Structure 1
């Protein structure tokens, strides 16, 4: 009788690790990619460390994809938590808002994100995508984006 292949993500010595078991019973492990919130947290740290933070720009973030219980989900909806909202909002001097949407690796935008980002763009708000596989790469891309936005502001 053939076994069913399995895949699970666990913590081994504090590190997220993917364990795969093949139909033949072979066990393979590899480091799991970071969670999207880890990319965002690295970006926030890097952006707040910029000398222009608080002088030429501020930021705010969302975590619409966070897992919630039914009550917390109802509260979020009642408080206008909007599906598809970008992960980071960058408030530039002169009343401009730019946004950053994070994806780990080759993950794609959800339908809600595509719709929301298109609606924001129709109103003149730019949403930039960052695809990264490490928090350091995500932070570097966010800093480059903000530096570019500041140079044309």
Structure 2
């Protein structure tokens, strides 16, 4: 008689271009839509932010891919050139010398130990890292645009106060 197990396995694959999560339990396979990759959410944010009319005039951005898998040589080069584990995903450079930082997490994803330490170090220097939790690239883009619009409004108010003083 064949031996049965209660083992559960999970894998994420692409079917017709869409990410799908397959769960096998007791010989039964179920498929559900998988959460997007963090990099897909970040790319959607960059596209949306660059499409804003204020881009290039009131703010610029730069992104990082610190989580990318690297071989030993590439990792050594990255560290030697200043890449730091735990750095936020997006830097938003704003008029007046303001810097805003965005960290992306998909679903209930957690910050890594390096991210917790780096974000705390940045906070000690006065830089707050805003964590955007999204379940789709469109959601991530909408949240980033809303954040930047809020920061621009606050920045305008601060710049007007400084000019009147």
Alignment TM class, shorter chain as reference: over 0.9
Residues 1:21 and 2:24 aligned together:
yes
Partners of 2:12 and 2:73 in 1: how far apart? Answer: 27
Question: What secondary structure sits across from 1:100 in the alignment?
Answer: strand
Deviation at 1:5, TM superposition (A): 1.9
TM-score, reference length from structure 1: 0.95
1:21-74 Cα shifts (integer Å, max 9, x gaps): 10x201111111100000100000000000000000000000111112222222
Count of aligned positions: 152
Partners of 1:74 and 1:16 in 2: how far apart? Answer: 32
Aligned to 2:13: 10
Which residue of 76, 80, 84 maps to 1:74?
Answer: 76
Deviation at 1:92, TM superposition (A): 0.5
Partners of 1:2 and 1:69 in 2: how far apart? Answer: 40
Which residue of 92, 95, 117 maps to 1:93?
Answer: 95
Partners of 2:87 and 2:65 in 1: how far apart? Answer: 9
Partners of 1:69 and 1:133 in 2: how far apart? Answer: 30
Residues 1:152 and 2:154 aligned together:
yes
Q: Conserved in 2, the CA contact under 8 Å of 1:90 and 1:99?
A: yes
Aligned to 1:65: 67
Partners of 1:75 and 1:32 in 2: how far apart? Answer: 33
Greater alpha carbon shift after TM alignment, 143-152 vs 12-21: 12-21
Partners of 1:152 and 1:102 in 2: how far apart? Answer: 22
Structure 1 outlier segments of 4+, above 6 Å: none
